[in-house]
C-alpha cells in the first residue's frame, strides 16, 4: 500500500502555514508540549493552527514538535515499512525505524511525556483522558500508517494504544489532531471563558442542553421563553432538565453511569 498522493492532473491544494521545526533553543520551558511522530509532518499543525488552539500555539500556551519518520528510514530510499511477517495484505512500519524516532522525541522532550499510539485497537479516547493529558506536561503521539506498527516496538516502549472511534482511518494524523484539540482547549488560558469547558457535553457525565442565539424567532421557530426571561435559576433548571432528557434519549449508557452527586 502506498501513501504517495496522486494528483490525477488536478492542482494540489496546499496551505500557506508551514509547521516549523522547533530548534532546541526555541523550546519553551515548562510549556505543555505535543510531540507528533509522523510520516506526514506537513499535516501539522493543520486545523490546530486555527482559532483558539492556533492562537494559543502562537501565544506559547502550548508547543508542537513534529518528528518526521522518513529520515529514520532504511537505505538509500529511507524505507520505513516492510511486508507483514506471516504474509497478508499491506505493509507494516518497522520497529527499527519507529524506535529511533521515539528516542529522538525523548531526547528533545523537557519532561517525561506519556507515549500514545493512535490505533483503532486502542481504548476509546474520552474527555477524562483529555483532562488527564491537559493536567500533565504534554504527550508524545505516534501516528501509524499502512497496516500499523510492528508490535515489538509497542511492547518495548509499553506504548498505550488509544482509539478515536470504532472505524478505520488511513493514518493516525487526524486522530492525533482531534486528541490534541480536546486536550489543548483545556489548558489554562486557551478558552476565553473557563466555564464553557465545565458546562459542556461529557464534562459532568451529561450531554449539553440545546443552545440558541439571536434572532429570538427564526423561520417561525422560537427560542424557548425561559431563556429570554433573565431568571438565572429557572434557566439553570431548564438547561439541566434538557441535558438529562437528551442524555437519556441519546446515550442510555451515559445515563446509566450518571451520578448526580458528582455532576
Ligand X SMILES: C[S@@+](CC[C@H](N)C(=O)[O-])C[C@H]1O[C@@H](n2cnc3c(N)ncnc32)[C@H](O)[C@@H]1O
Tell me the CA distances in angstroms from 196 to 86, 186, 190, 242, one per residue in order: 51, 10, 11, 17
What radius of gyration do the chain's Cα atoms show?
Answer: 22
Is residue 169 at the binding interface for ligand X, with CB under 6 A as the rule? yes
Q: How many residues bind ligand X (CB under 6 A)?
A: 19
List the interface residues with ligand X, window 125-144 (CB under 6 A): 143-144
Closer of 165 and 260 to ligand X (Cβ): 165
Q: Within 198-257, which residues bind ligand X (CB under 6 A)? A: none
Count of CB atoms within 10 A of residue 55's CB?
13
Choices 48-56, 98-106, 157-165, 215-223 (CB under 6 A): range interacting with ligand X: 157-165
**Tally of helices (H runs) and strands (E runs) in the chain:** 8, 9
Please select the residue that binds ligand X; options are 108, 127, 132, 163, rule is CB under 6 A: 163
Q: Taking the complex as a whole, how short is the minimal distance between the CB of residue 62 and ligand X, in angstroms?
A: 21
Q: Which residues of 95-114 are buried (b: 16+ CB within 10 A; e: fewer)?
A: bebbbebbebbeeebeeebb
Asked if 49 interacts with ligand X (CB under 6 A), we say no
End-to-end CA distance of the chain: 47
Select from 48, 67, 115, 118 the one that contacts ligand X (CB under 6 A): 118
Backbone phi and psi for residue 244, each to the nearest 5 degrees, phi listed first: -65, -45
Examine residue 69 and tell whether it contacts ligand X (CB under 6 A): no
Residues forming the site for ligand X (CB under 6 A):
118-121, 143-145, 147-148, 163-165, 167-172, 175
Amino acid at each position: 500500500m502506498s501513501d504517495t498522493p496522486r494528483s490525477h492532473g488536478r492542482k494540489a491544494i496546499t496551505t500557506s502555514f508551514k509547521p516549523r521545526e522547533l530548534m532546541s533553543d526555541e523550546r519553551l520551558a515548562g510549556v505543555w508540549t505535543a510531540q507528533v511522530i509522523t510520516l506526514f509532518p506537513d499535516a501539522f499543525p493543520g486545523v490546530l493552527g486555527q482559532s483558539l488552539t492556533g492562537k494559543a500555539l502562537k501565544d506559547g500556551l502550548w508547543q508542537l514538535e513534529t518528528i518526521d519518520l522518513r529520515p529514520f528510514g532504511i537505505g538509500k530510499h529511507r524505507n520505513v515499512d516492510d511486508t507483514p511477517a506471516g504474509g497478508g495484505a499491506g505493509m507494516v512500519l518497522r520497529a527499527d525505524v519507529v524506535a529511533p524516532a521515539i528516542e529522538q522525541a525523548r531526547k528533545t522532550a523537557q519532561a517525561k511525556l506519556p507515549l500514545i499510539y493512535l490505533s483503532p485497537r486502542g481504548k476509546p479516547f474520552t474527555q477524562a483522558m483529555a483532562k488527564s493529558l491537559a493536567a500533565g506536561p504534554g504527550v508524545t503521539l505516534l501516528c501509524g500508517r499502512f497496516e500499523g506498527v510492528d508490535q515489538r516496538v509497542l511492547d518495548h516502549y509499553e506504548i498505550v494504544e488509544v482509539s478515536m472511534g470504532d472505524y478505520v482511518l488511513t493514518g493516525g494524523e487526524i486522530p492525533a489532531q482531534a486528541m490534541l484539540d480536546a486536550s489543548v482547549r483545556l489548558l489554562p488560558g486557551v478558552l476565553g471563558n473557563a466555564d464553557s469547558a465545565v458546562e459542556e457535553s461529557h464534562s459532568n457525565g451529561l450531554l449539553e442542553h440545546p443552545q440558541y442565539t439571536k434572532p429570538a424567532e427564526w423561520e417561525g421557530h422560537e427560542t424557548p421563553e425561559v431563556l429570554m426571561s433573565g431568571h438565572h435559576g429557572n434557566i439553570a433548571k431548564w438547561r439541566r432538565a434538557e441535558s438529562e432528557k437528551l442524555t437519556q434519549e441519546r446515550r442510555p449508557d451515559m445515563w446509566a453511569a450518571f451520578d448526580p452527586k458528582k455532576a
